[in-house]
Structure formats: C-alpha cells, structure tokens
Amino acid sequence: MDSLRRPRRNRQSGVLRDMVQETRLHVSDFILPLFVLEGRNLRTEVASIPGIFRHSPDLLLDEIGRCIDLGIKAFDLFPNLSDDKKDRTASESHNPDGLYLQTIQAIKTKYPDVLLMTDVAMDPYSSDGHDGLVENGVILNDETLEILARMAVAQAQAGADLIGPSDMMDGRVGYLRKALDNAGFKHVGIISYSAKYASAFYGPFRDALASAPKFGDKKTYQMNPANSREALIEAELDTQEGADILMVKPALTYLDIISLLRQNSQLPIAAYNVSGEYAMIKAAAQNGWLDGERAMMESLMSIKRAGADVILTYFAKEAAQLLA
C-alpha cells in the first residue's frame, strides 16, 4: 500500500496517543448521587446498585468526607422515606425537621465548600409514587408546580446550591426560578432535567428509594424514547425559563441527545448516567463477562465525548480512584 495518509502513525506510542487525545475525564466532571436514610449508624446496600449504599445522616457525612478525599466535590442528594412519611401532597418535602432538609443543612454545615445539588420532584414523598400530584389517576401539572416551588425554596433555605427539578412538569423551571428569586435565593442555580425520558433504566433507583409508581407509568410526563426534536423544545423552554444547566437522562442510550443539545445550546450540558446503566456494567463484571473498570471508563468517556460537561454517576468514586 502506498497511501500518504496513515492514521495509525498517531497511535504508535502511549505518549503520542495521550498527546492527541481529544477528550479527558476529570474528577471535577462528576456529581455523585447519594441516598440518605432515617436512623443512626445505619448503612444498607442497594441490591440492584451494588457498591452504592443508603446511609443514615451521621454515616453519610463520613462518606462525603471520604469522597472529598478522592477529589469529589459535588453531590446530588435523594431521601429514602418510610411509607408513613408519604402522602398525596408530598408534605414531608417541606418539613424543616424532616430527614431531607435536615441532612442538607448538616452537609452544608460540615462541608460548606461542597456543591450540593438537591432533587425537586414529588416521588420520594408521594404515596402515589409519582413525580406530580395525582387526582383520579391523572397528574395535575399546574397544581404540582406550587408543591415543587415550596419544596425548592425549603431546600434553598436548608443550604442547597443547585436545585434539580427531575419531575418533567411543564413550566416548572420558570415557576421555581420566580419562587426562588422572590424568597431571596437569586444565587441558587437550577440544573434542569430537560430531556428526561420514560426509561426502563431507572428501575434500580426506584428500589433505592422504594419510590416506584403505585399505578401506571410516567409516560404522560417523561419523554418518549423515540423522540429527539422534542428534546430541543424542552431545552429551549428551560433556557427561556432561566435554567442554568440543562440535563439529559439517561446518558448512554441518549448520547445523540447529549450531542444535539451541545450543538444547540450555549449552556453547560449535564448527563445522568443512571442506576440501570451502572447496574448493567456491574452485573456483567461480577459475572466475569467484561472488564468492569474499562467498561466504566469507556462509558464515562463516551458521555463526555458526546458533549456533556457534567456527569452524574454512581461510578464517581471508582472513577476518581482510577483518575488519581
């Protein structure tokens, strides 16, 4: 062969490959999701998210300390609540003495420099297991906004840095932005789950929080996996409504959507590498079917290469260890 072009020349040595590498992962890319559980000195593994635990608040603080030592400085907190704390209107979500708000406060008191993202949606507190308010089997969009706003303001009051509406109600970003501004939280950002799909890959997360819907599914608010133009509509609305960061969720089955938003928005793009995506790799690795560490790093790299600036991932600790 007498071709003048030989792309393999740039792959000859480790030094050269490193030099021409286009995408690099860094521990500052990651947000680690955390699950908090009522109690003291308690830690339960989520069976379907192996290696990930629900911690009682005291142990969660220790865990965050270990993460900080690994260089992880951003966290997303979710509450696991017992059934007696759940009701139709998610009233526990704005209880200042409740588990979630108390834990936010404890984290920010002990570690004022971490970036704490909090979750706005009704499902962890809802007796219906839905992200919105249910009446006669129907999700009431506009009535839900008020509940979400009260929740977001309470979280900001407790010390949240970044509010993450994961509910997919129409108009919620603008509604939350106004509520936060009116309550004096102009500096608190919104990382919006803009393109959140009705996905099978959330299964293990619902195990972690015991938050599966009690009836039906989430298809009247989460997006149809078949759609990409619709993601642009959602992203545009969230941008107009004041979102600071746009998110795509899940990540690996939606790399095209990450890339699409990257090309169509000037805002930072986040991607949520969800529980089922983590579980698949862990399960295969535990069976000896693939090299778990390499599959993890390749997945995270693909999410960043597709255009994500920020990656929410249960792999954050393991990846941070490998990157160190």
Catalytic residues: 196, 249
Minimum gap (Å) between residue 315 Cβ and ligand PBG = 11
Phi-psi label, residue 259: left if phi above 0, alpha if psi -120 to 50, beta otherwise = alpha
234: annotated binding-site residue?
Answer: yes
Q: Which is nearer to ligand PBG, 172 or 262 (CB)?
A: 172
Q: Which is nearer to ligand PBG, 264 or 295 (CB)?
A: 295
Q: Does 313 bind ligand PBG (CB under 6 A)?
A: no
Q: Which is nearer to ligand PBG, 92 or 131 (CB)?
A: 131
Kindly report the backbone phi and psi dihedral angles of residue 270, in degrees, each rounded to the nearest multiple of 5, phi listed first: -110, 155
Minimum gap (Å) between residue 274 Cβ and ligand PBG = 4
Minimum gap (Å) between residue 49 Cβ and ligand PBG = 8
Query: Do residues 191 and 32 lie in contact, with contact meaning Cβ atoms separated by under 8 Å?
Result: no
Helices (H) and strands (E) in the chain, counts: 11, 12
By DSSP bridging, strand 53-55 and strand 43-45 are: antiparallel
* Residue of 45, 18, 121, 21 lying closest to 282 (CA atoms): 45
Give the E-state strand segments of the chain in sequence order: 30-37, 43-45, 53-55, 74-80, 115-120, 133-135, 138-140, 162-165, 189-196, 245-249, 269-273, 310-313
Q: Which is nearer to ligand PBG, 18 or 83 (CB)?
A: 83
Minimum gap (Å) between residue 59 Cβ and ligand PBG = 21
For 250, the 3-state DSSP assignment is coil
49 CB neighbour count, 10 Å cutoff: 23
Is the sign of the CA dihedral 23, 27, 31, 33 positive or negative? Answer: positive
Which of 257, 269, 274, 303 is the binder for ligand PBG (CB under 6 A)? Answer: 274
Which of 202, 246, 300, 315 is the binder for ligand PBG (CB under 6 A)? Answer: 202
């979710």: which residue's tokens? 78
Binding mask 52-71 for ligand PBG (x = CB under 6 A): --------------------
Q: Does 275 bind ligand PBG (CB under 6 A)?
A: yes
248: Cα separation from own chain's centroid: 9
Rounded-to-integer distance, Cα 281 and Cα 296, Å: 7
Phi-psi label, residue 136: left if phi above 0, alpha if psi -120 to 50, beta otherwise = left
Minimum gap (Å) between residue 123 Cβ and ligand PBG = 5
Q: Does 166 bind ligand PBG (CB under 6 A)?
A: yes
Rounded-to-integer distance, Cα 307 and Cα 317, Å: 22
DSSP string, 67-113: HHHTT--EEEEEEE--GGG-BTT-GGGG-TTSHHHHHHHHHHHH-TT
Judged by CB under 6 A, the stretch of 138-146, 179-187, 199-207, 240-248 that binds ligand PBG is: 199-207
Q: Which is nearer to ligand PBG, 27 or 120 (CB)?
A: 120
Binding mask 70-109 for ligand PBG (x = CB under 6 A): ----------------------------------------
Binding mask 108-127 for ligand PBG (x = CB under 6 A): -------------x-x----
Answer whether the bond into residue 165 is a cis peptide, omega within 30°.
no
**Residue of minimal CB distance from ligand PBG?**
205
Which of 115, 206, 216, 242 is the binder for ligand PBG (CB under 6 A)? Answer: 206
- How many of the chain's residues bind ligand PBG (CB under 6 A)? 11
Judged by CB under 6 A, the stretch of 22-30, 149-157, 200-208, 300-308 that binds ligand PBG is: 200-208
Q: Write out the binding residues.
A: 234
Binding residues for Mg(2+): 234
Binding positions for ligand PBG, rule: CB under 6 A: 121, 123, 131, 166-167, 202, 205-206, 218, 274-275
